[in-house]
Structure 1
């Protein structure tokens, strides 16, 4: 008789595989003539699948009796003598089967099935597939972890980090001759679009002197005819009020609906030329420079577009259009800042109040904040995904907070460090925290509007549920950006990138730091009301812009390498003046942030990633921290 029918249900995977093995084993032992006989019926195969699953565990010593065997357990008597399964085995096949198989003292039939090579394969393959499915996430994460080399022990050493950063290619002072030539040509194209170059400039039809010399084989002792570029057009256009940007012949073939244009940059480029006067284009792009070296800004776009001049110019103009027309980065987001939101939170209209509440709520909870630097000297931005709930903040509020934090982090970059470390803390993450809309916006920001700003992205303690989410997000990322993503599972993994003494306490570090927001202080933005001083500083800065442009034109035209080096040094000196002058202008343009109040960003542009916990506690102290008007603010 069959074993009792009451038993725990078997999982499908474990109940099906042995039956497949049993069927194939029996088919393998049956003569081919019998396979086609009428006695071999499909119902016999179905019967095997409807039978109980084979036992997969060794029976205990007390289960030697037939009644103690679990349901579905087949002993030698079951296979060779019982008639229960006789429809599947002929007497001859059963005899051969019994002669070829010798059971162990435990005698369970799963061993007999596995002795057949065919059955063994069919039994193991489903288990392998199941195991691969279960451990897919950790296997994928481990394969994608490309941990940087470095000593994880010892104190943070800024000197060693600076040496490593200086060796990064494609930065000011570390360009190949080909890259230097690309930069010169890119400046020429940029100045043409801004209306700086004269009508007789050779940007459209005439090559630069160095290009002419290289193509015609002109000797170094001979002086090739220089292309005529000057500031004459810019001054003449100001007098006449010209509002049409100069068109570049190399850009005439640009297609608005290019399928390879991921972010619609071609369309934005054409719209920018059609709707913005050259003076506005120039002013907006110069405002993007802030405290950076102008060359460093343009090189970001060249590196992002693999030194393709046309694509780099399209990207630069698209970014300019986004900052000026869409996001209003400088004139709204950074000018209003946290104090403006604090006022609107209490007395604004319904829409303004909601936006202010959403913006400040994210700052107060510390959904994302900057603290410290990694081993490469890059400022660290921590994103605590568990604090985000889809729908809690409006889309506009999320975008405002994202741009504000990215722009603020820019002030923490100091050459040669020009990228940041973003750490996504997925501790306690669940599907309730997932929101694809802000993720897409963040990806667009870094890929389209803040090129070459990401140094490394750390995804810490990603749970199993994140596997499918990462598969989707990775498909949206540019391969270069995706290659910067690393997965860390514990403190030891994090220490490959960040010294343990610099890791916040809630990430199991020993820094002693816990984020706590400090509210805006009344009077901290008093300088922004001093319009007279602001205008004088802006005029001073405009003169520096024109001086830099003039020296750049000389640098572009100069065919002699030695003289070009001298001009390049003069440009660097002007860039240094621009940097120093910006920090005198900064408190008149930018609202103070949390990082100004706690002392991370200094009034003179210095940065202290680990400031003293003592912070200004009243309006007077906060105003001093923001920087009072000094005698040298205005010459």
Structure 2
């Protein structure tokens, strides 16, 4: 087993308050970089600085983009630039500190999607239940744009504060999620709209949030799913495909081998029954006083009122502008949270 080597940090950009060594030796991951790979981090940063970029140039972020492009610095730079352009076009940095999604509970009638505690490796568990998706009904509650914005915001909140809290608790750097996608109820009639939305969300995940998927369990896979899976695999990087486990209705044994019963909601074979229901609890180390710290994008002065029809920035009238936010191959189906990008 390779011995970890300290990550070369840049004092201008790297201000981590959590561990920065990957839990197991993996090529291209923090603590296990070659001299050449460390040099490629510096090269990528210099290229981006030369084009005027100043945000999200910390070492761990650049490493994720480099891994997503097999350490081809030019391709990683292009991916990073495309991501920054998207962030600017969507005003994501301004949105994250103040975003609210008041229609969330009503939306969960059709599409529960939530983070809930951790797997045996200490990573956040993200759960989606796709069987109730009804886009016609959902778009009476919200809009496609708000759904995707909420997805992006949840990815940002995964990056900070969720993953840093999990890293502090586990004592190693955790950068990925364990995702469970429940396909129960996704029959032939519902499949087209389910997969059309998942494809859209997956594109956001792959393009802008690389290296966020640790494992993905597709449970209650219906009869004939192998055909659909053959299509979905075509959207994903081969590295991501290796992380995906397709299981039928007898999934409990394999799932419980990865997620402790006390952390898995009872409906999936675990023993957890959070007060008020697991889907809305958002329980995890990011809620535990010993490990949780305010996200870097948080500002106590700002508030915003978001409704399905409008977004009104109250903070702009009462407080300074919010500070900007910082985010294995770009990949994985996703949604607000969403299968964390691989």
Establish whether TM, by shorter chain, passes 0.5: yes
Question: Match for residue 177 of structure 2?
Answer: 420
Does residue 370 (structure 1) correspond to residue 115 (structure 2)? The answer is: yes
CA distance in 2, matches of 1:483, 1:406: 22
Paired residues of 1:370 and 1:409 also in contact (CA < 8 A): no
CA distance in 2, matches of 1:493, 1:176: 35
- Could you state the TM-score of these two structures normalised by the residue count of structure 2? 0.67
CA distance in 2, matches of 1:377, 1:588: 32
Paired residues of 1:426 and 1:459 also in contact (CA < 8 A): yes
Q: What pairs with 1:508-519 in structure 2 (closer than 5 Å)?
A: 508-513=269-274, 514-515=277-278, 517=280
Aligned equivalent of 2:262, options 488, 501, 514: 501
Paired residues of 2:265 and 2:272 also in contact (CA < 8 A): yes
Question: Match for residue 235 of structure 2?
Answer: 476
**1:475 Cα deviation (Å)?**
1.6
More divergent stretch after superposition (297-306 vs 414-423): 414-423
Question: Match for residue 205 of structure 1?
Answer: none
Does residue 451 (structure 1) correspond to residue 210 (structure 2)? The answer is: yes
Q: What pairs with 1:259-298 in structure 2 (closer than 5 Å)?
A: 281-282=53-54, 286=55, 288=56, 294-298=58-62
Paired residues of 1:366 and 1:515 also in contact (CA < 8 A): no
CA deviation string 1:23-53 (max 9, x = no partner): xxxxxxxxxxxxxxxxxxxxxxxxxxxxxxx
Question: Which structure: larger Rg?
Answer: 1
Q: What pairs with 1:201-212 in structure 2 (closer than 5 Å)?
A: none
Say which SS state the counterpart of residue 458 (structure 1) adopts.
strand
Say which SS state the counterpart of residue 380 (structure 1) adopts.
strand
Q: What pairs with 1:87-236 in structure 2 (closer than 5 Å)?
A: 165-194=23-52
Question: Match for residue 331 of structure 1?
Answer: 94
More divergent stretch after superposition (416-425 vs 399-408): 399-408
Distance 1:165 1:432, change over 3 A: farther
Paired residues of 1:503 and 1:510 also in contact (CA < 8 A): yes
Which structure has more RCO (C-alpha within 8 Å, separation ≥ 6)?
2
Say which SS state the counterpart of residue 30 (structure 2) adopts.
coil
Say which SS state the counterpart of residue 151 (structure 2) adopts.
helix
Question: Match for residue 442 of structure 1?
Answer: 201
Question: Match for residue 404 of structure 1?
Answer: 153
Paired residues of 1:427 and 1:462 also in contact (CA < 8 A): yes
Structure 1 residues without counterparts, runs of 5 or longer = 1-161, 195-280, 343-356, 519-578, 593-635
CA distance in 2, matches of 1:503, 1:464: 25
Paired residues of 2:97 and 2:297 also in contact (CA < 8 A): no
Say which SS state the counterpart of residue 393 (structure 1) adopts.
helix
**1:428 Cα deviation (Å)?**
2.9
CA RMSD of aligned residues (A): 3.0
Question: Match for residue 314 of structure 1?
Answer: 78
Say which SS state the counterpart of residue 180 (structure 2) adopts.
strand
CA distance in 2, matches of 1:466, 1:474: 12
**1:389 Cα deviation (Å)?**
1.5
Structure 2 residues without counterparts, runs of 5 or longer = 1-19, 168-172, 282-291, 306-342
CA distance in 1, matches of 2:132, 2:122: 27
CA distance in 2, matches of 1:584, 1:424: 29
Aligned equivalent of 2:221, options 448, 462, 485: 462
Larger strand percent: 2
Does residue 491 (structure 1) correspond to residue 252 (structure 2)? The answer is: yes
**1:371 Cα deviation (Å)?**
0.3
Paired residues of 1:367 and 1:388 also in contact (CA < 8 A): no
Paired residues of 1:372 and 1:380 also in contact (CA < 8 A): yes
Question: What count of residue pairs does the alignment treat as equivalent?
Answer: 259
- Could you state the TM-score of these two structures normalised by the residue count of structure 1? 0.38
Larger helix percent: 1
Paired residues of 2:217 and 2:244 also in contact (CA < 8 A): yes
CA distance in 2, matches of 1:316, 1:302: 9
